[in-house]
């Protein structure tokens, strides 16, 4: 599994005999709407969660920065403070992904505006949750992605299930078609996947057909 954390914090034990890498995700709330929404979330935690023994919250210094530490789960459910402080499910999954890729039970989430840090959250993920997520990723890889990662001499044909997926009405707004998908996948494949039985000089000269396969101009695409 690959990850793309915005930063990594190195934390040493008291005797400095061990060091732990903790991924850091940074989000900015620069628009008026997102800034005020974040400020409201920061100011309304106290009455709801102050008595939770698993939670630690404090103001940092004189800059009105909230530091909060809490687990990702309460029982088998999402911890209410995790959901309150980070209401976007995509951002919560992103933190879980960072925890798994860096094999760290803790992840920092830093949020601020265009000038200052507003809050720092340290989220703790349980072993069972992390193992379950890794198993889901492995299942997706073996069922849907393995064909793309296997070393081979040329770019593989796109499976029918992928061809059918881009025709789905749910993806209509992304303006994604087969040519743009193939071009994007091909560039990714050329950089990331081991090539089987292709001489290095041929790869450098593009004699293995890359320039003949990419369709220019590349179609309209959008990250999904």
143-149 mean pLDDT: 88
Burial class (CB in 10 A: 0-12, 13-18, 19+), 121: buried
Residues of the chain with pLDDT > 70, as a percent, come to: 77
pLDDT digit string, tens, across residues 175-215: 788 888 888 888 888 887 776 665 555 554 444 444 444 44
- The number of CA neighbours under 13 Å toward the Cβ of 220 is 6
Inform me whether the pLDDT recorded for 121 exceeds 80. yes
**Cβ atoms of residues 81 and 55 within 8 Å:** yes
pLDDT digit string, tens, across residues 53-107: 667 766 555 566 788 888 999 888 999 889 988 999 999 999 999 999 999 999 9
- Better-predicted residue by pLDDT, 78 or 154: 78
Q: DSSP for 49-63?
A: HTT-TT-EEEEETTT
Residues of the chain with pLDDT > 90, as a percent, come to: 25
For the ranges 29-38, 43-52, 56-65, 179-188, the lowest mean pLDDT is seen at 56-65
pLDDT of res. 172:
79
Rounded to 5 degrees, φ, ψ at 125 are: -105, 140
Inter-helix orientation angle 127-140/89-101, to 10°: 90
136-141 mean pLDDT: 91
Q: Which of 146, 149, 148, 147 is nearest to 138 (CA)?
A: 146
pLDDT of res. 107:
95
3-class state of residue 217 by DSSP: coil
User: For the range 124-129, what are the long-range contacts, defined as Cβ-Cβ under 8 Å and sequence gap of 24 or more?
Assistant: 124/69, 124/70, 124/71, 124/72, 125/71, 125/72, 125/73, 125/95, 125/96, 125/99, 126/71, 126/72, 126/73, 129/72, 129/73, 129/96
Rounded to 5 degrees, φ, ψ at 30 are: -95, -25
pLDDT of res. 214:
45
Q: Return d(Cα 131, Cα 199) in angstroms, integer.
A: 39
Q: Return d(Cα 30, Cα 178) in angstroms, integer.
A: 36
């Amino acid at each position: 599994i690959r990850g793309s954390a915005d930063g990594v914090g190195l934390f040493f034990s008291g005797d400095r005999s061990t060091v732990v890498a903790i991924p850091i995700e940074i989000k900015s709330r620069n628009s008026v709407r997102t800034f005020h929404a974040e400020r409201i979330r920061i100011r309304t935690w106290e009455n709801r969660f102050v008595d939770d023994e698993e939670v630690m919250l404090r103001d940092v210094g004189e800059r009105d920065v909230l530091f909060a530490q809490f687990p990702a789960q309460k029982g088998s459910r999402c911890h209410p403070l995790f959901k309150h402080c980070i209401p976007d499910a995509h951002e919560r999954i992103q933190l879980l992904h960072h925890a798994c890729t860096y094999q760290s039970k803790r992840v920092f989430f830093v949020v601020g505006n265009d000038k200052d840090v507003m809050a720092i959250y340290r989220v703790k993920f349980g072993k069972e949750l992390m193992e379950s997520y890794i198993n889901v990723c492995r299942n997706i890889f073996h069922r849907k992605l393995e064909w793309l990662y296997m070393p081979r001499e040329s770019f593989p044909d796109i499976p029918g299930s992928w061809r059918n997926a881009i025709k789905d009405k749910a993806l209509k707004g992304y303006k994604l078609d087969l040519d743009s998908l193939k071009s994007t996948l091909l560039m990714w494949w050329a950089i990331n996947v081991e090539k089987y039985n292709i001489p290095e000089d041929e790869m450098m000269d593009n004699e293995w057909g890359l320039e003949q396969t990419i369709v220019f101009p590349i179609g309209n695409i959008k990250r999904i």
